[in-house]
Structure 1
Amino acid sequence: MEYLHVAGLEHSYGSQRVLENVSFSIRAGERLCLLGPSGCGKTTTLQVLAGFVKPDRGQVTIKGEPLDGMPPEKRNIGIMFQNYALFPHMSVFDNVAFGLRMRGLEKKEITTRVGDALTLVRLPHTASKRPAQLSGGEQQRIAFARAIVIRPRLLLLDEPFSNLDARLRLEMRTELLDLLRELDVATVMVTHDQEEAMAIADRIAVMYKGRIEQIDIPNEVYSNPSSLFVARFVGETNVFDGRAMGHDKVMVDGLGEFSVRKNQSIANNSKVKLLVRPEHIELAEKADMNGQWNTVEGTVERLLFLGHRTEWVVRKGEARFLVWQSQPHSLMRKVGDTVTLRWRPSDCFLVASEHVNA
Structure 2
Amino acid sequence: MKQAILNGPLDMIIKEQEIPPLEPGDCLLRVQSALVCGTDIRIYEGTKKKNVTYPTVMGHEFAGTIAESNGPLPHGLVVGDLVAVYPIMPCGHCSACVRGRENICRNRLAFGYQIPGAFAEYVHVPAAAVRAGNLVKVNGVRPNSAAVIEPLSCAYNGLKLIDAPAAHALLVVGCGPLGLMHIRLASALGVKKIVAVDPSAQRLSAAAKSGAQLTLAPGDTAAREILEFTDGDGVDAMVVAVGRTDAFEPYLEALSPGAKVNLFAGFPTGKDVLAVSANDVHYNEYSLIGSSSCHLSDFEFVASMVTDGTLQVDDLVTTTMEIEEAVAALEAAKAGDDLRVGITARS
Same fold (TM over 0.5): no
Report which structure shows greater RCO (CA 8 Å, sep ≥6). 2
**TM-score normalised by structure 1 residue count:** 0.28
**TM-score normalised by structure 2 residue count:** 0.29
More strand, by proportion: 1
Q: Return the index of the structure with the highest Cα Rg.
A: 1
